[in-house]
Structure 1
Amino acid sequence: MNNPFLPEKAPPSDFAIEQGLLGILLQRNHFYDEISWFQSEWLSVKHHQDIYNSILAGLLSGETVNTTVIASRHKDDAWYKENPEYLNELVKVYGFRPIDHLKGFANSIKRLYLKRVILEKSAEWQELAQSPDDQNVDSLLDTIETDVTGLRLRENDAVQFDLPTSINDFLHDLDLKIRGEFQSYRTGFEGLDNKLVGFVPGRLYILAGRTGMGKTAFALNLANAVSKQGRVLFFSHEMSRQDLVGRMASMSAGIDMQALQDGKGIPANSFNAIREAMKDMQIDIVDVGRMSIERIAQLCRAHKRKHKTSMVVVDHIGLVQASKNAQRLGKVHQVEEITNILKATAKELNVVVLGLAQLNRESTKQDQKRPMLSDLRDSGAIEQDADVVMMIHREDYYLKNNKPVQGVKMSDKAYASMISNWAYLKEIYKDVAEIIIAKNRHGNGGTVLTKFIGHHQTFTEQGDFSAIEDLS
């Protein structure tokens, strides 16, 4: 068909496939369900948008829509007066195409729309870049990153599946679980694997704890376990790449952490031992401080394309920068934006995302030190977006610094009993790290008991925890 309506200098578009989509829908109304996600704004010319909106309005009201119905609604429009046979020509040329053509047309039209938006945005970026103010570079980069993130969300917003498809996918996953073939990554801790079914791609995991509990060390233990099954991308906003590698060397080669820090007492042949122990680690480290969440998402996509990423670790969420707009709205909105994008990244790339989070300092003033979900800083968004929230707690950290003090009216006998109980608890909790599963969207909570071997930066489930288990 001729193209009498196309502007002389048209942005990316394909007039013919837009005609094809409309022609098929006019002839085969029941095909609409297959592209119910389609939006009229994606069409490149106004009269095509008007025709599509009229078709949609009729279908949603239960009408049978055909060329006569649409013609009656647009008989006074300029495009109809110029070519009254236009609708009939659409049906004649395209009306009997198969459903696969309709799906292909819809997807192509959307991609071309996104290209037009990119051109519009790039023009805005050029204008900002040509500003004489040389202090606006960071603002420009923030704008570009936000715009690109928005475009990617638009790119994925049309992914829909009907209930039968979803049921089949669920049953497929269930069959894989029954046969022990469900895709998940072993955490390195049997207790966690039993409760979480391992780390499942597409899910957001949060590891929270107070300062000094060993969040980074435990995250490295988890990353090391996953790196034996796939590639890990580790964002470190507090520690340098060398510091992280030092911890990994201590953990994998069994060399005292203090010796690696001060260089004293290093065993002979340690260099070869470290290289041998770490040669199969698939962990890539990004140690740029205060990185924006949009930049993190972009690097995750690039890493996924190049290395088929299995897991992403962000240490920690509190040091990630939100967009300028979220910053203006306050801390709660910043955390909400960050966790939303982390969750979207996990789903989009089908990777495990582990985000580390701090607990409120105020919670340390409570008599009960064991953390709860309410202790999370700005916890609402984190609780909402996370599939799993784990909290690391070391009771001996508090016991050893809180020896009971004899009260003025306390008898010596009562105080001796208190000291005895404190010493007993200090002994049974020595080096014990509790991994508390405070939220598990896909299963039960609970606690996994581990031992933290600080001088080697490792956690292990090996040990006698019977005395602690008896307390509960």
Structure 2
Amino acid sequence: EQLASRILSEQAEIGSDRIRKGLLENDEFTKLVSASTTLHNIPLFIDDTPALTVSALRTRARRLKRRHNLGLIVIDYLQLVSGSSTSRSDGRVQEVSEITRGLKTLAKELEVPVLALSQLSRTVEQRDPPRPQLADLRESGSIEQDADVVMFIYREEYYMERKKPSRRADEDDGKLVERLERWEGALQDIHQVAEVIVAKQRHGPIGNVPMHFNGAFTRFGNLSKDHPYRQRFHGED
């Protein structure tokens, strides 16, 4: 239900909080109805069965492929999938290894791409800047090995918002205001900006792609060519 609400919010371009609280104007309600109709006609199937195994996922995917010509499988997220009882007894790393191999086999069998989200380890937050790397994937060995493409989403704004300057010992108002102004300026330069980091691509190049991020609708899009972020981090004109 929560996922469906977020998808509806993105499609209608109405904040999910406003939808949830019923704070809609007449024109927004019309947009919501239109978006709901559009989504109803999209062959999108959400299965929120907890601790689903790869075997159970394979059964469901085969059925959807047969009945609806399934075109994409999204796992949100990998660490919520369960392995077999045997792999579970061998430890979490072995269990995740079995899961990633099973997903790769499923993708080949059905000729359907599998997009699997994964958690990151906490060590990423201890770096400066905290850009994620392949080693930050939890139980990373098999994920890195089996995936054809690994991409991370990095938003510097997320981390900088949590570094708002506070008054230092013996610091006067002028110095604090000066530091706050520098922080606010830097924050504005990266407002609604994200990077997609292509850390692995079996059949192509790796690198970083700057993106625009609209948090209200959890939507990513193209970043304008003249955005300061491009010059600051990528040296682009």
Could you say what secondary structure the match of 2:52 adopts? coil
Give the AA of the match of 1:427.
Q
Could you say what secondary structure the match of 2:72 adopts? strand
Alignment equivalent of 1:365, drawn from 126, 133, 154: 126
CA contact (8 A) 1:394 1:434 kept: yes
**Paired residues, what number?**
231
Question: What is the Cα deviation at residue 468 of structure 1?
Answer: 1.2
Could you say what secondary structure the match of 1:284 adopts? coil
- Under a length normalisation based on structure 2, what TM-score does the superposition of the two structures give? 0.87
> Which one has the largest radius of gyration?
1
Structure-2 residue corresponding to 1:117: none
Question: What is the Cα deviation at residue 416 of structure 1?
Answer: 6.6
Structure-2 residue corresponding to 1:299: 60
Give the AA of the match of 1:471.
R
Give the AA of the match of 1:244.
L
Structure-2 residue corresponding to 1:258: 17
Could you say what secondary structure the match of 1:309 adopts? coil
CA distance in structure 2 between the partners assigned to 1:434 and 1:249 by the alignment: 24
Distance 1:410 1:271, change over 3 A: closer
Matched, 1:284 2:45: yes
Question: What is the Cα deviation at residue 375 of structure 1?
Answer: 0.9
Give the unaligned 5+ runs of structure 1: 1-241
CA distance in structure 2 between the partners assigned to 1:249 and 1:445 by the alignment: 33
Alignment equivalent of 2:209, drawn from 437, 448, 452: 448
Give the AA of the match of 1:252.
Q
After superposition, residues 166-315 of structure 1 pair within 5 angstroms as 242-266=1-25, 267-315=28-76
Alignment equivalent of 1:347, drawn from 71, 94, 108: 108
Give the AA of the match of 2:135.
S
Structure-2 residue corresponding to 1:386: 147
CA distance in structure 1 between the partners assigned to 2:223 and 2:107 by the alignment: 32
Question: What is the Cα deviation at residue 365 of structure 1?
Answer: 3.0
CA contact (8 A) 1:258 1:455 kept: no
CA distance in structure 2 between the partners assigned to 1:311 and 1:397 by the alignment: 29
CA distance in structure 2 between the partners assigned to 1:262 and 1:464 by the alignment: 37
Give runs of ≥4 in structure 1 deviating > 6 Å.
409-417
Q: Deviations over 1:49-71 (max 9, x none)?
A: xxxxxxxxxxxxxxxxxxxxxxx
CA contact (8 A) 2:10 2:219 kept: yes
CA contact (8 A) 1:327 1:334 kept: yes
Question: What is the Cα deviation at residue 406 of structure 1?
Answer: 6.0
Could you say what secondary structure the match of 2:129 adopts? coil
RMSD of aligned alpha carbons: 2.4
- Under a length normalisation based on structure 1, what TM-score does the superposition of the two structures give? 0.46
Distance 1:449 1:281, change over 3 A: farther
Give the AA of the match of 2:33.
N
Could you say what secondary structure the match of 1:289 adopts? coil
Question: What is the Cα deviation at residue 451 of structure 1?
Answer: 2.0
Could you say what secondary structure the match of 1:343 adopts? helix
CA contact (8 A) 1:437 1:447 kept: yes
Percent identical across equivalent pairs?
33
CA contact (8 A) 2:210 2:230 kept: no
Distance 1:448 1:291, change over 3 A: same
Question: What is the Cα deviation at residue 455 of structure 1?
Answer: 2.0
Could you say what secondary structure the match of 2:216 adopts? helix
Matched, 1:395 2:156: yes
CA distance in structure 1 between the partners assigned to 2:78 and 2:101 by the alignment: 12
Higher helix share: 1
